[in-house]
A and B are shown apart, each in its own frame.
Chain A
Amino acid sequence: MALLTKKDAGLILDPLADNKPITIQVLGICSALAITAELEASIVMSIAVVFVLGIGNVVISLMRNIIPSKIRIIVQLIVVATLVIVVDQVLKAFAYELSKTLGAFVGLIITNCIIMGRFEAFALANGPWKSFLDGIGNALGYGVILIIVGFFRELLGSGTLLGIPVLGDPIMKTGLYATGYENNGFMIIPPAALIVVGIIIWVQRSRNPALVEEN
């Protein structure tokens, strides 16, 4: 017997393909704008969200029958906050420099719409295993976009990838810079992320016209 049934696999794969949280559900845009100027920060942020959403969905799903519906938002917040504090402390202990770059945005995972959205829409109505898969799937879908955006912004904006110069040295004018190429300062400022996300949405929708809404 396969590890995942077809339906379960769909839970993970759908958000990675045609139901990406950022580009289709348009959730989690704020963090996509804020931290994607560097690829490394995008990757760490994605891992953090995978962790928080995967475990959070399981916890909420386990408690779904005993949470009074009137105070469910508060209970969800407490669960997310706990997990985010764990992530934050781990980062501070093992990747202090990085935790400084990410700054408040790790804390702001609490308010990331994707997390509350999945708790409300999925974990409250499904069992723990399915919720776990759904959480991982959506967080990965979020992370993929984050990493794509981070890749282009760091490459075009700073000429580096993960902090390693790949296009030559802009000051000594080596590599590509010798031909007169310059870094694009526009890619470093947050509005560029909006435009990159917009282009990703454009590409995705023109490849799959079913996603285009009627208006």
Chain B
Amino acid sequence: MHDLKMKYKGKKMAPAINAFHTFLYTPDETTHSGSHVRGADDLKRTMNTVIMALVPVLLFSMFNAGYQHYSAINGFPENFSLMEHFITWDNLWIGLIKVLPLLAVSYGVGLLVEFIFAVIKGHEVEEGYLVTGILVPLIVPIDTPLWMLAVAVVFGVVIGKEVFGGTGMNILNPALTIRAFLFFAYPTWMSGDKVWVHEARERSEAILAGASNVDAISGETILGYLAQNNEAAMSAKYSVADMFYGFIPGSVGETPTLLILLGGLFLIFSKIASWRIMLSAVIGSLVMGLMFNGVVEQGWITETSKFYGLMNFDFWKHLIVGGLAFGIVYMATDPVTGAQTNRGKWIYGFLIGFISVMIRVFNPAYPEGVFLAILLMNVFAPTIDHYVIRGNVKRRMKRLQNAVIHPKDSDAQAAELKAETV
């Protein structure tokens, strides 16, 4: 590998070779000038930390893919035991054949685009796609066709990132750009009650076509039930513990709130992600949820209102269903697209939580809005930062104007001495 690197030095393909080299080995270059201090947490390390925080979620999602599939066919087990019903080879097998291809396509296509751009532009391959690549399969429905994912990844990486100048220059979170593209381009594959569980869609199509040897299976998400004011059916099927541990249908990796929470704590303690954004986003969603609960308690809307189901949903449960927890921990905290100033982070996070729950309740077409809320706030993050900085400058200018110039220390001491001696 090293010989290859030397051979291609200065050639057109050099960035691609170098990328493989640093992927496998520590770079052998030393610093030539300036500061010789090297931080241990370079971009590669940062990205790897996030990936480590995501691996438990990925593993869980593989088992959950199988669990949801078999439960939808055979009914949910009565006395659920983790080892007996969840961590089984059957479940893992479904996960392996459904989730791994999504992961492979995501990384394969995304890194290919990165390599092409690096070779054209003649810079080193950027690490930016490492995290995006694992996020993407976790936020799409399990049965997303691979070619759709590939198209969306090309779109997301080129239009969402490379046209702005590559990693670190993008306005929008690339993973969410990919999600948004899929959602608007192929809505029938991204929403409804047939896409969240493996085979649900194939089976309903087979039944429409006249097949009689298959049972229809449905995998409505919790938010989906609530949007249809069908809370009774939802709570009969899933308990609060199910929601918290993640044994519910949804996008591949968005369900296990517990593991996401652990991942989030890991990211906070390794100082990779901002706790301010996470905390304020949680507060924001709770505030919005409380307001909707209040509206219901006041009796301002009736049970027949189409918003009743979601408005009546206990405010804190919003955090454990759908993609809110996943979005807050792994998406909103993206250091490139989020707010940079501390006060800006509070505002940015709060609005993400607030708007996510608002879109959930009021969006007639699709009872989830986390990705839209985060993309919206991505766009506003620079504006928030701008006003935070302006405000800071203004405050300090004012302080400067009002400042009293104190006499020098020695003068004051002399005056004190004088007063004492007199």
Q: Is the CB of A184 within 8 A of B145?
A: no
Cross-chain contact B147 with A184 (CB below 8 angstroms): no
* A189-B188 Cα distance, complex, nearest whole Å: 16
Residues of B within 8 A of A (CB-CB), count: 13
A195 CB contacts on chain B under 8 angstroms: 159
A202 within 8 A of B: yes
Interface of B, helix, strand, loop or mixed by DSSP: helix
Instruction: Please determine whether B159 and A184 come into contact, CB atoms closer than 8 angstroms.
Output: no
Chain B min CB distance to A37 (Å): 14
CB of B163 within 8 A of CB of A185, answer no
Closest A residue to B181 by beta carbon equals A186
List B145-183 residues whose CB lies under 8 Å from chain A.
Answer: 145, 147-148, 151, 159, 163, 181
- Is the Cβ of A180 less than 8 Å from the Cβ of B147? yes
Q: Is B23 an interface residue (CB 8 A)?
A: no
State in angstroms the CA–CA spacing of A67 and B274 once bound together: 64
Interface membership of chain A positions 50-61, coded 1 if the CB is closer than 8 angstroms to chain B and 0 otherwise: 000000000000
> How many Å lie between the Cα of A181 and that of B185 in the bound state?
12
Q: Which of B184, B188, B189 contacts A186 (CB 8 A)?
A: B184
- In the bound complex, residues from chain B placing their C-beta under 8 Å from that of A18 are none
**B180-211 vs A: 1/0 string, CB under 8 Å?**
01001111110000000000000000000000
Name the A residues within 8 Å of B184 (CB-CB).
185-186, 189
Interface of chain A, main secondary structure: helix
A182, CB-defined interface residue at 8 Å? yes
With the chains together, A30 CA to B16 CA distance in Å? 41
* Subset of 23 A-B contacts with CB under 8 Å: A180-B145, A180-B147, A181-B147, A182-B148, A182-B186, A182-B188, A182-B189, A184-B151, A184-B185, A184-B186, A185-B184, A185-B185, A185-B186, A185-B187, A186-B181, A186-B184, A186-B185, A187-B185, A189-B184, A195-B159, A198-B159, A198-B163, A202-B163
> Closest residue to A184 on the B side, CB-wise?
B185
Q: How far is A168 from B159 in the complex, measured between Cα atoms in Å?
A: 29
Which residues of A in the span 176-199 have a Cβ within 8 Å of any Cβ on B? 180-182, 184-187, 189, 195, 198
A195 to B145, CA, bound (A): 24
User: What separation, in Å, do the CA atoms of A180 and B159 have in the docked complex?
Assistant: 25
A33: min CB distance to chain B, Å: 15
Which residues of A pack against B, CB within 8 Å? 180-182, 184-187, 189, 195, 198, 202
7 new A-B pairs (CB below 8 Å) besides A180-B147, A185-B185, A189-B184?
A180-B145, A182-B186, A182-B188, A186-B181, A186-B185, A198-B159, A202-B163
Q: How far is the CA of A186 from the CA of B181 in the complex (A)?
A: 7
Which residue among B145, B148, B185 has the maximum number of chain A CB atoms within 10 Å of its CB? B185
**Bound Cα distance from A181 to B148, whole angstroms:** 9
Q: Which residues of B contact A189 (CB under 8 A)?
A: 184
Q: How far is the CB of A103 from the nearest CB of chain B, in Å?
A: 23
Name the A residues within 8 Å of B148 (CB-CB).
Answer: 182
In the complex, which residues of chain B have a beta carbon less than 8 angstroms from the beta carbon of A202?
Answer: 163
Give the shortest distance, in Å, between A41 (CB) and chain B (any CB): 21
CB distance from A24 to the nearest CB of B (A): 18
| B residues in contact with A184, CB < 8 Å | 151, 185-186
What is the minimal beta-carbon distance from A157 to any residue of chain B, in angstroms? 9
A198, B155: Cα distance in complex, Å: 13
Q: Closest CB of chain A to B182's CB: distance in Å?
A: 9
Query: Considering the complex of A and B, which 7 residue pairs feature the smallest CB-CB distances, nearest first?
Result: A186-B185, A186-B184, A184-B185, A185-B185, A182-B186, A185-B187, A180-B145
A84 to B181, CA, bound (A): 37
| Nearest chain B CB to A154 CB, angstrom units | 15
What is the CA–CA distance of A195 and B189 in the complex, to the nearest angstrom? 23
User: Residue on A with the closest CB to B159?
Assistant: A195
Q: Across the interface, which residues of B come within 8 angstroms of A198, CB to CB?
A: 159, 163
Alpha-carbon distance A186/B180, docked complex (angstroms): 10
Chain A residues with Cβ under 8 A from B163's Cβ?
198, 202
In the complex, what distance in Å separates the CA atom of A187 from the CA atom of B147? 17
How many Å lie between the Cα of A29 and that of B315 in the bound state?
44
Which residues of chain B have C-beta atoms less than 8 A from A182's C-beta? 148, 186, 188-189
Distance in angstroms between the alpha carbons of A185 and B147 in the assembled complex: 15
Chain A residue at minimal CB-CB distance from B158: A199
Q: Provide the bound-state CA to CA distance between A214 and B184, in Å.
A: 35
- Report chain B residues within 8 Å CB of A185: 184-187
Q: How far is the CA of A202 from the CA of B117 in the complex (A)?
A: 14
0/1 interface trace, chain B 256-292, chain A, CB 8 Å (1 if under): 0000000000000000000000000000000000000
Complex: A184 Cα to B145 Cα, angstroms: 13
Query: Shortest distance in angstroms between B102's beta carbon and chain A's nearest beta carbon?
Result: 16
The docked-state distance in angstroms from the alpha carbon of A28 to that of B186 is: 29
Residues of B within 8 A of A180 (CB): 145, 147
What separation, in Å, do the CA atoms of A158 and B166 have in the docked complex? Answer: 32
Q: Which B residue's beta carbon lies closest to that of A199?
A: B159
A174 to B148, CA, bound (A): 19
Which B residue sits closest to A157, measured CB to CB?
A: B185
CB distance from B158 to the nearest CB of A (A): 9
Smallest CB separation, B329 vs chain A (Å)? 28
A187 to B185, CA, bound (A): 7
Q: How far is the CB of B196 from chain A (nearest CB, A)?
A: 19
In the bound assembly, the distance between CA atoms of A184 and B159 in angstroms comes to 16
Counting chain B CB atoms within 10 Å of each CB, which of A182, A185, A186, A198 scores highest? A186
Query: Which interface residue of B159, B184, B188 has the most chain A CB atoms within 10 A?
Result: B184
